[in-house]
């Protein structure tokens, strides 16, 4: 592939009713100050986890979707060793697993036999580490690291991996996810609730429990971008990378963090999605809302208008995109509107495939 870059911007507007989907240390919904006012905020980590959980649901017969971030890597490796060699005892398998990871300079807690920090691994990496350990009496650190540098899961290829113990095991993220913020100012609200003891005696009064839950409602602007070339490098295959890009866009659009979901039933779908494919640089259009939207008749349509206006204004600073696709149930002034999310994913893939094929032809 030649040196030209290829980026995919995903811009989403989504109305979320009373909710508390991402809490801070006090239990309140996270907020941010932007444009001089308080906004509702959902952290990028929160939304990335929601996406990762969607990948895992779709991972049947697709090992490249199975990634796990855990301190229990030695235990997972020991289990894989036993699956490949049923004669191994739990103790012997764990001993081999500890030796393998120690050879890779991954620090372990000797008391718990866990890694000292969360470590991202894929199912493929665990299986290949087990196979290598069972096939070699003498363990080689370079060979072990080679295994850990291949067979990346989709979430690892997108969101990266940092290994402080040995930076050579790091994986550069091909995706950036912004903190979602409301397009408008929000005012925190409080739900005062009581719970009654169903088995109380007739002469008993009062509630068994009382408390408050803080919440807010917001029209969120959500943004992420993907460096397609980096995703292909991380996954080692352009066909798989394009499929992975489709899954990421679909799950970024449709996922939602699960905080207080049962209390608020706040699961909504976006009202507006704009995907732009660029060759020069990713562009976050949050500046469309630096001046907070004000309205007594809803925020969605005005937010759409502001976002599309900002999109047009950015053309003064960046190259014209290769393509822009819009999926919405609101009014839009942009061309290339699609029928549904499947139509959008198909057209994005066709644009990416053509671009990747052209680059391969020019190698």
The strand pairing partners of 16, in sequence order, are 218
Domain ranges of the chain: 7-60+174-190+213-361, 67-152
Q: pTM value?
A: 0.92
Q: Residue 62 has what DSSP assignment?
A: -
Q: Which of 72, 2, 13, 4 is nearest to 219 (CA)?
A: 13
Identify whether the C-beta of residue 156 lies closer than 8 Å to the C-beta of residue 149: no
| Residues near 120 by beta carbon (within 8 Å), at least 6 away in sequence | 67, 68, 69, 153, 155, 156, 161, 171
Residue tagged 């905080």 (tokens)? 259
pLDDT (tens, 9 = 90+) of the chain, 363 residues, equals 445 799 999 999 999 999 999 999 999 999 999 999 999 999 999 999 999 999 988 877 687 888 999 999 999 999 999 999 999 999 999 999 999 999 999 999 989 999 999 999 999 999 999 999 999 989 999 999 999 999 999 999 999 999 988 899 999 999 999 999 999 999 999 988 888 888 777 777 777 788 889 999 999 999 999 999 999 999 999 999 999 999 999 999 999 999 999 999 999 999 999 999 999 999 999 999 999 999 999 999 999 999 999 999 999 999 999 999 999 999 999 989 999 999 999 999 999 999 887 666 555
């Amino acid at each position: 592939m030649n040196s030209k870059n290829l980026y995919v911007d995903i811009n989403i507007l989504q109305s979320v009713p009373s909710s508390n989907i991402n809490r801070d240390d006090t239990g309140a919904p996270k907020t941010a100050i932007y444009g001089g006012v308080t906004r509702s905020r959902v952290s990028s980590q929160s939304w990335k986890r929601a996406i990762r959980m969607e990948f895992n649901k779709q991972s049947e017969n697709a090992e490249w979707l199975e990634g796990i971030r855990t301190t229990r890597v030695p235990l997972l490796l020991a289990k894989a060793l036993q699956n490949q060699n049923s004669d191994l005892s739990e103790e012997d398998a764990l001993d081999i697993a500890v030796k393998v990871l120690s050879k890779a300079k991954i620090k372990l807690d000797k008391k718990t036999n866990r890694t000292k920090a969360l470590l991202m691994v894929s199912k493929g990496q665990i299986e290949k580490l087990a196979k290598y350990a069972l096939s070699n009496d003498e363990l080689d650190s370079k060979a072990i690291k080679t295994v850990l540098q291949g067979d990346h899961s989709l979430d690892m290829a997108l969101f990266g991996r940092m290994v402080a113990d040995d930076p050579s095991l790091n994986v550069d993220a091909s995706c950036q996810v912004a903190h979602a913020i409301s397009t408008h100012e929000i005012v925190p609200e409080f739900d005062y609730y009581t719970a009654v003891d169903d088995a109380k005696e007739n002469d008993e009064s009062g509630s068994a429990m009382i408390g408050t839950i803080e919440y807010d409602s917001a029209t969120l602007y959500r943004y992420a971008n993907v460096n397609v070339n980096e995703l292909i490098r991380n996954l080692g295959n352009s066909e798989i990378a394009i499929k992975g890009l489709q899954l990421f866009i679909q799950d970024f659009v449709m996922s939602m963090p699960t905080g207080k979901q049962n209390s608020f039933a706040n699961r909504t779908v976006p009202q507006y999605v704009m995907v732009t494919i660029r060759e020069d640089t990713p562009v976050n259009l949050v500046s469309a809302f630096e001046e907070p939207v004000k309205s007594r008749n809803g925020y969605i349509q005005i937010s759409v208008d502001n976002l599309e206006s900002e999109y047009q204004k950015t053309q003064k600073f960046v190259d014209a995109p290769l393509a822009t696709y819009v999926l919405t149930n609101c009014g839009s002034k942009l061309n290339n509107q699609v029928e549904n999310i499947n139509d959008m994913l198909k057209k994005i893939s066709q644009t990416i495939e053509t671009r990747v094929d052209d680059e391969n032809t020019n190698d």
